[in-house]
A and B are shown apart, each in its own frame.
Chain A
Amino acid sequence: MKALRKKIYMTAGYNTISMGTGRNEFHPKKPRPGLEDYIKEAGQSTLKMIGGAVNVDEGVIGNFMASRFNNQANLPAFLPMIDAGLKYKPAVSVEGACASGGLALTTGIKSILADTADVVLALGFEVQNTMKAMYGADVLAGAGWQKTRKEGHAYFFPGVFSERAGVYYEKFGRETTRKAMAKWYCNAIENARLCETAQEFHNTNKNLEGTANTPVNPRAFVENLNYFDCSKVSDGASAIAIVSEEGLKKIGLEVKDAVEIVGFAHVAADITQKPENMTSLSTMKVAAEKAMLMAGITIDQLGTVEVHDCFSIAGIMALEAIGFAEEGKGAEFVLAGHTARCGKIPVNTTGGLIGWGHPTGATGVHQAVTIWEQLTGKAGKAQIEITKEKPYAMSVNMGGDDKSLVAIVYKRGE
Chain B
Amino acid sequence: MDLIRKMENVSVLGAAGKMGSGILVLLSFEMAKLKLGKKEDKEFVLNAIDVSQSALTNLLAYVKSQLLKHAEKNIVELRTWYQDREDLIDNEEIINQFADDVMAMIQTSTRIETAYDSQLIFEAIKEDKALKVKLFSQIKQNNPNAWFLTNTSSIPIGGIEKEAGLTGDIIGYHFYNPPVIQKLLEIIKTDNTSDDLAAFSVSLAKSMRKIVVQSRDVAGFIGNGHFMRDALYALNLAEELAKTEGWAKAFFLVDTISRDLLVRPMGIFQLLDYVGIDVTRFILDSMQPSFPNESLSHTALNKMLDNEVKGGQFADGSQKDGIFKYQKGRIKEVYDIELGKYSKTENVEMDCAAFMGELPILKVYWKSVVRDPNKADHLQKFFNELHQLDSVGANLAIAYGENSKAIGQMLVDTKVAESKEDVNTVLETGFFHAYGPINDYF
Contact = CB atoms under 8 A, between A and B. Distances in A.
Interface of A: 132, 134-135, 137-138, 141, 146, 149-150, 153-155, 218-221
Contacts of B75: 134, 154
A385 to B, nearest CB: 41
A219 B76 contact: yes
Interface residues of B, number: 13
Contacts of B72: 132, 134
B76 A150 contact: no
Interface string B72-103: 11011111000000100111100100000000
Contacts of A154: 75-76, 78-79, 91
B76 A221 contact: yes
Contacts of A141: 90
Q: Majority SS of interface residues in chain B?
A: helix
Given A138-B91, A155-B76, 16 more contacts: A134-B95, A138-B92, A141-B90, A146-B89, A149-B89, A149-B90, A150-B86, A150-B89, A153-B79, A154-B75, A154-B91, A219-B76, A219-B77, A220-B73, A220-B76, A221-B76
Nearest to B86: A150
A135 B90 CA distance: 8
Nearest to A219: B76
Contacts of B95: 134
Given A134-B91, A135-B92, A218 B86 contact: no
B318 to A, nearest CB: 16
A138 B73 CA distance: 15
Nearest to B87: A150
Contacts of A134: 72, 75, 91, 95
28 contacts: A132-B72, A134-B72, A134-B75, A134-B91, A134-B95, A135-B91, A135-B92, A137-B91, A138-B90, A138-B91, A141-B90, A149-B89, A150-B86, A150-B89, A153-B76, A153-B79, A154-B75, A154-B76, A154-B78, A154-B79, A154-B91, A155-B76, A218-B76, A219-B76, A219-B77, A220-B73, A220-B76, A221-B76
A141 B94 CA distance: 15
A219 B79 CA distance: 12
B81 to A, nearest CB: 12
Contacts of A132: 72
Top 3 closest pairs, chain A to chain B, by CB: A138-B90, A154-B75, A154-B76
Nearest to A150: B89
A173 B86 CA distance: 37
Q: Majority SS of interface residues in chain A?
A: loop
Contacts of B73: 220
Nearest to B73: A220
A220 B89 CA distance: 18
Interface in B8-52: none
A154 B72 CA distance: 10
Contacts of B76: 153-155, 218-221
- Most chain B beta-carbon neighbours within 10 Å: one of A132, A137, A154, A155: A154
A150 B91 CA distance: 9
A154 B95 CA distance: 11
A149 B89 CA distance: 7
B84 to A, nearest CB: 10
Nearest to B85: A150
Nearest to A147: B89
Contacts of A135: 91-92
B70 to A, nearest CB: 12
Contacts of A221: 76
A141 B89 CA distance: 11
A117 B408 CA distance: 81
Contacts of B78: 154
B213 to A, nearest CB: 26
A150 B92 CA distance: 12
Contacts of A155: 76
- Most chain A beta-carbon neighbours within 10 Å: one of B75, B76, B79: B76
- Most chain A beta-carbon neighbours within 10 Å: one of B72, B73, B79, B91: B91
A92 B92 CA distance: 31
A28 to B, nearest CB: 13
Nearest to A141: B90
Contacts of A218: 76
B69 to A, nearest CB: 10
Nearest to B79: A154
Contacts of B86: 150
A149 B86 CA distance: 11
B180 to A, nearest CB: 17
Nearest to B76: A154
Interface in B227-242: none
Contacts of B92: 135, 138
A91 B386 CA distance: 70
A124 B90 CA distance: 26
- Most chain B beta-carbon neighbours within 10 Å: one of A134, A153, A220: A134
Contacts of B79: 153-154
Nearest to B78: A154
A78 to B, nearest CB: 27
B368 to A, nearest CB: 15
Contacts of A153: 76, 79
A49 B154 CA distance: 72
Contacts of A220: 73, 76
A157 B255 CA distance: 51
Interface string B52-82: 0000000000000000000011011111000
B334 to A, nearest CB: 30
Nearest to B95: A134
Interface in B153-199: none
A95 B92 CA distance: 24
Interface in B248-284: none
Nearest to B72: A134
A150 B90 CA distance: 7
Interface string B300-343: 00000000000000000000000000000000000000000000
A138 B90 CA distance: 6
A155 B72 CA distance: 11
- Most chain A beta-carbon neighbours within 10 Å: one of B72, B78, B86, B90: B90
B40 to A, nearest CB: 22
A275 to B, nearest CB: 22
A90 B78 CA distance: 47
A218 to B, nearest CB: 7
A150 B85 CA distance: 9
A144 to B, nearest CB: 12
A131 to B, nearest CB: 9
